[in-house]
Amino acid sequence: MLKKLLIANRGEIAVRIVRACAEMGIRSVAIYTEPDRYALHVKRADEAYSLGENPLAGYLDPQRLVNLALETGCDAIHPGYGFLSENAQFARLCEEHGIIFVGPRSDVIHKMGDKTQARDAMRAAGVPVTPGSEGNLADLEEALQLAASIGYPVMLKATSGGGGRGIRRCDSADELKMQYPRVISEATKAFGSADVFLEKCIVNPRHIEVQILADSHGHVVHLFERDCSIQRRNQKLIEIAPSPQLTPEQRNYIGGLAVKAAAAVGYENAGTVEFLLSGNEVYFMEMNTRVQVEHTITEQITGVDIVREQLRIAAGLPLSYRQEDIQYRGFALQFRINAEDPKNDFLPSFGRITHYYAPGGPGVRVDTAIYTGYEIPPYYDSMCLKLVVWALTWDEVIARGQRALADMRLHGIKTTASYYQQILQHPDFNRGHFHTGFVPEHPELLQYSDKKHPSEIALAVAAAIAAHAGW
């Protein structure tokens, strides 16, 4: 088993990994830059080391992190998600210096991170992919010819993209001509590569992803699926497990495809295979070679501790479960409570949290690194916390989600919580009928009232007075 782990991340995922280490008897090492000096992951880890003043440079320096792991006697590094989690160079440096990277091998990260290579690998494995370019586009002329042959709309995507960046929908040749240089520019700035590819745009599909685990002993299992169709501009807002929109036959088929995809590339550790579902047609979209933000809801319905399994796999141990051992029960929802103002085009709302009260009760889980008095820095992702609810039935989990969102108190910043309450009340969501176009198709959901209950007003006033007085 691993003895000492450096966590190459921050925020709630770092806290999540610290907790797994504590349960497994693994010593945890946190890192931080100056804006994170008082962050919760720094307080909770067994050791913590500063990376300097720059808010981002330290978190994004692979060599420095590997050197720190060696200096502090760590035998492994967990990258979390974001930052360097899907950076093949980082994984390769770990391999070269004898540090265990909690994730797949560097060559697998490289192959699946390059979306054209990933599509080629899936075709070879018999996993269906969306019609599109076989390899990177040579120039705009090739893009125009291919788009004309497969039909508009099409999606122009950065080959090394992720997180919703480097993606443009084009509904005509004129739009493709306009977007082509923009995507290349964005891809170059964000990912250091000008490579782009093109694929058929599947209009208003359901976004279904499958959690897989694979060990070094040749075992691959899936932990069923998550429905991530409630999203805005390719950014997920509410995630659901399992999908209320799948038949048992579809669930088995898509789970099998995910296992086939992972086995085909020699995958090890936790990963997610993402699909688009249109009618009964299923298309491979991409593979995320890391733990996902929304791993929580899979844990809630299956009882499998995914981070614990990650650490066991990294230590060379076999999976704790066979496929037939893994069952799911009930439904789970995850709400990404972001520091954003939905009524102002989701503008970030960074600042000091004057009062925070976490919701609780049966079937409620909160993964976060915030606390009353915490200053949310403007340099990182805007997510404050992940609110997760579980219940036996679809109707019950919606009701529990409403109650938990109403229970939560988070003052000092704007958040997306009230907006999510509107989504839960929509008849289509209640019937389990929605797709990736749900959010843009329902702008009326943003017309909710900001009026506060008197008790909330009193609490906010008291918190503001306390903050001003320096209590």
Identify the pLDDT of residue 470: 54
Domain ranges for the chain = 4-102, 131-200, 206-454
Residue 454's pLDDT band, with cuts at 50, 70 and 90, is low
Residue 464 confidence (pLDDT): 57
Which range is least confidently modeled, 266-275, 279-288, 346-355, 454-463? 454-463
What is this structure's pTM?
0.92
Q: Under CATH, what is the fold of the domain 4-102?
A: Rossmann fold (3.40.50)
What confidence category does residue 304 fall into, taking pLDDT thresholds of 50, 70 and 90? very high
Per-residue confidence (pLDDT) for residue 119, from 0 to 100: 93
Q: Is the pLDDT at 298 greater than 60, yes or no?
A: yes
Range 233-238 average pLDDT: 94
What does the pLDDT read at residue 163?
63
Of the listed ranges 111-115, 199-203, 221-225, 465-469, the one predicted with least confidence: 465-469
Does position 336 have pLDDT exceeding 70, yes or no? yes
Fold observed for domain 131-200: Dna Ligase; domain 1 (3.30.1490)
Return the pLDDT at 468.
56
Q: Kindly report the CATH class assigned to 206-454.
A: alpha beta
pLDDT at 154 (0 to 100): 97
- Over range 223-240, report the average pLDDT: 96
Q: Could you tell me which residue, 467 or 116, shows the higher pLDDT?
A: 116
C-alpha span between 88 and 448 (Å, rounded): 44
Q: Is 233 a catalytic residue?
A: no
Query: Encoding tokens for residue 247?
Result: 């038949």
In this structure, what token pair is assigned to residue 106? Answer: 């560097």
Smallest CA-to-CA distance from 353 within 367, 370, 368 is with 370
**Active-site residue (options: 10, 105, 226, 290):** 290
Residues 137-192 pLDDT 10s: 999 999 999 999 999 999 999 988 766 778 999 999 999 999 999 999 998 988 88
What's the pLDDT band for 456 if we cut at 50, 70, 90? low
Strand 206-214 vs strand 269-278: parallel, antiparallel, or unpaired? antiparallel
Give the pLDDT confidence of 90-110 residue by residue, as tens digits: 999 999 999 999 999 999 999
Contact 57, 65 (CB under 8 A): no
- Residue 118: pLDDT band with limits 50, 70, 90: very high
Q: What is the mean pLDDT of the chain?
A: 94
Question: How much is the pLDDT for 15?
Answer: 98
Give the residue-averaged pLDDT of 395-404: 98
The answer to whether 271 touches 313, Cβ cutoff 8 Å, is no
Closest CA to 82 of 290, 243, 357: 290
pLDDT digits (tens, 9 = 90+) for 179-198: 999 999 998 988 888 999 99
Residue type, position 63, single letter: Q
Give the helix, strand, coil percentages of the chain, each rounded to 5: 40, 25, 35
Count CB-CB contacts under 10 A for residue 421.
16
Contact 13, 111 (CB under 8 A): no
Q: List, in sequence order, every residue forming a beta bridge with 167; answer none if it has no partner.
A: 157
CB-based contact 399:421 (threshold 8 Å): no
Res 460 pLDDT > 70: no
- What string of DSSP letters covers 37-50? TT-HHHHHSSEEEE
Main-chain phi, psi angles of 314, to 5 degrees = -60, -30
d(CA 70, CA 4): 11
pLDDT above 90 as % of the chain:
90
Q: How much is the pLDDT for 449?
A: 86
Question: Which has more pLDDT, 470 or 350?
Answer: 350
